[in-house]
Amino acid sequence: AIIRFGIGYLPLIVISILFGPVYGLMGGIAQDLLGIFLIGAPIFSYTFSPVFTLNAILYGVIPGLFFRNVARTDKKIFFLANYVLLGLFLLAAGIYFFNLDYVYTQSLGRTEKYLLLATGVVSAIVLGILNLIIKNNSRYGKDGTKLLFVVMIIYMIVSLVITPLQIAIVQQVPYWSLLPLRIIKMPIEVVAYVVLLVPILKLLGELLGRHDRIES
């Protein structure tokens, strides 16, 4: 099994937060179609899939909806909600930790599976610490905990529900067997997204005069 890490949806999150969900929607469709016809199809023989277009659309729409319509929500609510999501993650990771046969892979042995699961748990703990740092550090502004919540929610919807469900249907493999490696990746990629998004949003917000989108 090849474990791919990536932050390819980062531009869509930036567009959605700075300019709103409508522009994020258009950006999601454009990114997916351009990626297929300019790179995917010619080089990797990828074909169009509406599911992957939906994934891009969700990354382009959901952040804008939260930052536009939930702008005045107390950051403590998102701070607590983040720990609820992390608790669910640790519960799922724990289930797979004691049931390694659920981990669907053709190349990883038991030792590698334990190592990956342990890495995922450690990353989740780091994510919990990051949530605390974001809440108490002015560098992340008033919307830091909201940003973390939004990234985690989208990741769960796209990477833990929609994408593995499609793969399970197409390849005719059990849906639950596709989750472990994705669960392990989640905290690692979420940390990368948030750490990169904060300075990018601040910089672009200042350059474009979009301070109304990001509370500092």
**pLDDT > 90: percent of the chain:** 22
Rounded Cα distance between 125 and 182, Å, is 17
Rounded Cα distance between 85 and 167, Å, is 24
Residues sharing a CB contact under 8 Å with residue 182, sequence separation 6 or more, in sequence order? 159, 160, 163, 164
Q: What local confidence, expressed as pLDDT, does residue 59 receive?
A: 94
Q: What local confidence, expressed as pLDDT, does residue 157 receive?
A: 92
Q: What local confidence, expressed as pLDDT, does residue 42 receive?
A: 46
- pLDDT tens, position by position, 118-134: 777 787 888 889 899 88
Tell me the mean pLDDT per 10 residues along the chain, length 216.
70 92 93 74 58 89 86 77 88 70 59 72 84 82 86 91 88 78 80 88 81 54
- Would you list the domain boundaries of the chain? 8-69, 74-197
Q: What local confidence, expressed as pLDDT, does residue 113 receive?
A: 67
pTM across the whole model: 0.82
Q: What local confidence, expressed as pLDDT, does residue 81 receive?
A: 92
Q: What is the DSSP letter of 72?
A: T
